[in-house]
Amino acid sequence: MGGRKLLMTFPVTATSHTLADYRARGGYETLAKVLREKKPEDVTKEVAASGLQGRGGAAFPVGRKWQVVHLDDGQPHYLCANADEGEPGTFKDRWILENAPHLLLESMLISSYALQVRNAFVYIRGEFDLPYRRLAAAVEEAYEAGYFGTDILGSPFACDIVVYRGAGSYVCGEASALITSIEGKRGYPRNRPPRLTVKGLYQKPTVINNVESLSNVTGIVRDGAEAFKKVGTPKAPGTRLFSVSGHINKPGVYEVEGGYPFADFLRNELGGMLGGRKLKAVIPGGISAKVLTAAEIEPLPLDQPVFEAAGSTLGSGGMIVIAEGTCMVRLLQVMLRFYHHESCGQCTPCREGMGWLHRVIDRIVAGEGRLEDIETMHHVSRWNDGTTICGMGDAAGYATVAILEKFRDEFEYWIANKRSKCNGVLEVGNA
């Protein structure tokens, strides 16, 4: 595919996560140059000029978020790296944490300098073991080398970092729930406004960015915004990581330039479909993204605006490839079981709606479904839309309605015949 490499063009080895290896590739040289030559606002301007979009799902411009924070306002500012990667199908941030933790740390230091942050946080998913150990070891190495603490690299800049382990809540991947959890409270999302960049952690201005988003900062500042924009498309510059799973020959994490054709990606990088099956559908950005049929996705380039126009999103980069023979009824059952289990229960539409959706799909799979159940699931999904504090209710509804509308015949067949229409991977009895 060519183009600029996000993770500093280094091969993954048994020691690629260490400070020694990172320094050998020029690690922390960009930080030193920033502290010598740039003002905080210069860094923010460079990031804004790059057009970097958030890689956590919403694709909000990173620089625009930073520009909301007023420097020299007399308040403490906070930076949080969202490493609570709980979206099913998504595992690219884990790859960075395991193999390039110092890239994230250097980028966070540069970002903290730009935002006048004295105390930074990494909120990491509690189930992550190796990523946590790699990150914690990298933090220790960075402190010993003088990259954190006071008088960093002989400058007046001071910054400390805390790695905070979550307790396994999917909802804590939402920004306001994340900071509520750091504050020691139950991880409930907050109503907004005010925005978190105005009143966030401890009611102070707070910037929260995804791990991959922050990991781009070092390269952008080192090479310049124009170099970053030479890769990808005008509306989606740079590269992004995709974690790809499902019925493909080569699952894994891939760095892809914006605009790369999906059909070429599937054929050239992913090794084609497993077992020679035909492509049935793709969930392109974690299970919160609307499913696209093979006919819908095959002509598309991997470009966020294009996927939005097609009715879906690249979201968190968690791509799930689905082959012919997969039962979409059972697939939706697995998804709704997850959403019901992970609802925090704060909002009535989500708390009750997830239960309804889960019970109805279970009834269909048990052979006791009725045709009106399909409409019931439509109605519940739409009632959730826009009625919850965070986007979980919306996302579950979007995912449900897309599957129901595009594969309605499979639900009608199961209700009429009390079994799946498909003879494949998620057949009845193989959940």
Residue 339 clears pLDDT 60, i.e. is over it: yes
Question: Does 106 share its domain with 154?
Answer: yes
Question: Does 225 share its domain with 243?
Answer: no
Residue 422 in any domain: the answer is: no
**What CATH number is associated with residue 251?**
3.10.20.600
Residue 6 in any domain: the answer is: no
Question: Does 197 share its domain with 219?
Answer: yes
pLDDT, tens digit (0-9, with 9 covering 90-100), for 276-287: 999 999 999 999
Question: Does 204 share its domain with 223?
Answer: yes
Give me the pLDDT at residue 406, please: 97
Residue 3 in any domain: the answer is: no
DSSP 8-state secondary structure symbol assigned to residue 55: S
Give CB contacts under 8 A, 24+ apart, made by 335-338: 335/88, 335/287, 335/396, 335/399, 335/400, 336/361, 336/396, 336/400, 338/88, 338/170, 338/287
Residue 13 in any domain: the answer is: no
- Roughly what angle, to the nearest 10 degrees, separates helices 101-115 and 29-37? 10
Considering only 1-5, 294-298, 330-334, 425-429, which range has the smallest mean pLDDT? Answer: 1-5
Give me the pLDDT at residue 1, please: 36
Question: Does 50 share its domain with 182?
Answer: yes
pLDDT level of residue 345 (50, 70, 90 thresholds): very high
What range defines the domain where residue 386 resides?
Answer: 328-417
Question: Does 297 share its domain with 281?
Answer: yes
Question: Does 305 share its domain with 198?
Answer: no
**What CATH number is associated with residue 95?**
3.40.50.11540
On average, the pLDDT of the chain sits at 93
The Cα 280–Cα 263 span in angstroms is 13
Label residue 413 exposed, middle or buried (CB < 10 Å: 0-12, 13-18, 19+). Answer: middle
Question: Does 90 share its domain with 171?
Answer: yes
**What CATH number is associated with residue 358?**
1.20.1440.230
Residue 425 in any domain: the answer is: no
- Residue that finishes a domain, picked among 302, 323, 344: 323
Residue 290 in any domain: the answer is: yes
- Residue that finishes a domain, picked among 282, 305, 323: 323
**Residue partners of 309: CB distance under 8 A and separation at least 6:** none
Give me the pLDDT at residue 377, please: 96
Q: Compute the radius of gyration of the chain from its Cα atoms.
A: 22
Whether 171 and 392 have beta carbons less than 8 Å apart is answered as yes
- SS3 at position 83: strand
Residue 140 in any domain: the answer is: yes
Question: Does 162 share its domain with 302?
Answer: no
Considering only 43-47, 135-139, 166-170, 294-298, which range has the smallest mean pLDDT? Answer: 166-170
pLDDT level of residue 13 (50, 70, 90 thresholds): confident
Question: Does 246 share its domain with 183?
Answer: no
- Residue that finishes a domain, picked among 323, 351, 376: 323
The Cα 84–Cα 86 span in angstroms is 6
**Residue partners of 397: CB distance under 8 A and separation at least 6:** 353, 380, 381, 382, 384, 385
Structural domain total, the chain: 3
Residue 7 in any domain: the answer is: no
Question: Does 23 share its domain with 168?
Answer: yes
Question: Does 213 share its domain with 78?
Answer: yes
